[in-house]
Structure 1
Amino acid sequence: MLRLRHWMMTTALLLSVGVAGAAEVLLGPGDVVRIGIYGSPDMGVETRVSEAGTITFPLLGQVGVGGLAVAAAERKIANLLESGGFLKKPQVNMIITNLASQQVSVLGQVNRPGRYPVEGRRKVLDLLAMAGGIGVDGGDVVSLVRTRNGVAQRDTLDVVDMVRKGELTGDIDVAGGDVIYVERAPRAYIVGEVQRPGPFRLERAMTVQQALAAGGGLSPRGSLRGLRITRRDAGGHSSTIDASMSDTIEVDDVITVRESWF
């Protein structure tokens, strides 16, 4: 069931890449561009956009292109060449060979964490797909940390819920410099007389009965009588309560299965 859930999640994410829009990419520091002039091969150059947003171009020197789309940068260079008397109606062609300024970091429990370029309009699901989808230890909720107008903000997306319901309106556009982080899935613990004591992945609305199954079931000496849950409250204080098979497990709960005396 767990493998199927992650297979469905990754498939849905991969499909989402194909529907992303194709908005203009704006040039920024670190981007590498190749510029050619039709009929003037000697003026072709490959250059990097500086931190100040400029490139160095033959005859023109420093040209500000930071924040411009490729088409606008082409027109600017063409206008400067013509107004400077260097060429008449030049046809400028610019290609981005390395889009360094528009990258998003995808970190945490994904299959291929790293930095990924944002070419055109991209959303959180698109970037998760580029990173190979959420790993088997990843949680359902993803954090997006971004800075807009000098203000840092954090948004959370329940990506599994969105995909299950087919409601992708909650997906969020990303931009260069954003960070997507997938935390480890919440866990609980089972100890005592079970086949596989230790931590287990906490699924939604998981019951004590399902937790016992995650622990491999009772050991030959285990008993369903006297099940206990040790739980911490918001203040960090622990309490132990009697448990029934239908009780719902919470994050970091410790279930204790006692030994049968008969």
Structure 2
Amino acid sequence: MPMRILFVLATLVALALPLVGTQAAEPGTSEAETPHVLVPSDVVVFRVLNQPDLDTEVRVDPSGRVAFPYVGLVEVSGLTTQEAADLIGRRLREAGIINRPEVVASMVGFGSTASVLGAVNSPGVYTLDRPTRLTQILARAGGVSPVAGNTITLRRTEEDGTVRVQTFDLRTLLDAPTTDQNLLVRNNDEVYIPDAPVFYLYGNVNAPGAYPIRRPLTVQQALAVGGGITEIGSESRIRIRRENAAGVVEEYRAELDDPIQPFDTIQVPERIF
């Protein structure tokens, strides 16, 4: 091959090398997810290189400890698997069992769980077998149901026993999640989505029934949700039944531009011919 061609190829390779490994990360992938932290009921396998007799599968007990041969109980709650393996290795060395132990750990079962309740398609308790954010655990719960309201609440018990409750706008979380709202779910978290408040259409409307209120509605807009008034319905004689602050149900005549309230019953009578 002519020397000129070799020189050109070598130059191209030299120019390309600085670019290796410097490609910009895709949006949303620049920050690594938090590794799993051990909690009670997690099941871990510890393996010691070239020492198969020390390989141990163990469950983290309620106090956050594991029992390992020759070193006894070791506090691992709050550590990652790698940190726990390093700690076991130090204890083996300090006990004079192995001079330079190489310990690795891997997860077999997970004790971390979180509950998802309310207006989701599959409410229940879910295992946190990987770093999981709010939108991800909602997906595991089958997504939000058609009757879901506009908010999502995260209830968390901190290490000192205090309970912290955070409420976010559900639509914003689902449409444009940010790390300020789309939090990582922790062990024993409770996620709750309330049902949207409803109003009721009754009488001469095309689709009577209960409908969720997700934004302010007037009587006219509420009737449109139910398919409008039938041919024999009276637009001028609409009535609303509403419970007052004392718990007493009152009934009054409604205008089309009146705002409705949660749990209103809108009744459309027949026209008087």
TM-score by length of 1: 0.83
Q: CA deviation at 1:95?
A: 0.8
Q: CA deviation at 1:180?
A: 0.4
More RCO (CA 8 Å, sep 6+): 1
Structure with larger Rg: 2
Task: Provide the residue aligned with 1:133 in structure 2.
Answer: 143
Gaps in structure 1 of 5+ consecutive residues: 1-16
Q: Deviations over 1:22-44 (max 9, x none)?
A: 11322111000111111112221
Task: Provide the residue aligned with 2:245 in structure 1.
Answer: 234
Distance in 1 separating the partners of 2:133 and 2:43 = 24
Gaps in structure 2 of 5+ consecutive residues: 1-27
Task: Provide the residue aligned with 1:60 in structure 2.
Answer: 71
- The within-5 A match list for 1:242-261 is 242-261=253-272
Q: CA deviation at 1:220?
A: 3.7
**Aligned pair in 2 of structure 1 residues 21, 233: CA closer, same or farther (>3 Å)?**
farther
Q: Is the 8 A contact 1:21 1:121 kept in 2?
A: no
Task: Provide the residue aligned with 2:209 in structure 1.
Answer: 198
Distance in 2 separating the partners of 1:215 and 1:36 = 64
Task: Provide the residue aligned with 2:99 in structure 1.
Answer: 88
Structural RMSD (CA)? 2.6
Q: Is the 8 A contact 1:191 1:257 kept in 2?
A: yes
Task: Provide the residue aligned with 1:155 in structure 2.
Answer: 166
**Aligned pair in 2 of structure 1 residues 21, 207: CA closer, same or farther (>3 Å)?**
farther
Q: Deviations over 1:123-156 (max 9, x none)?
A: 4233222322211222221122221221223222
Q: Deviations over 1:36-58 (max 9, x none)?
A: 11111222121101112121222
**Aligned pair in 2 of structure 1 residues 143, 260: CA closer, same or farther (>3 Å)?**
same
User: Structure 2 residue aligned with 1:22, among 33, 56, 70?
Assistant: 33
Task: Provide the residue aligned with 1:116 in structure 2.
Answer: 126
Share of identical aligned residues, percent?
A: 33
Q: Does 1:175 align with 2:201?
A: no
Equivalent position SS for 2:180: helix
Task: Provide the residue aligned with 1:142 in structure 2.
Answer: 152
What is the count of residue pairs matched by the alignment?
A: 246
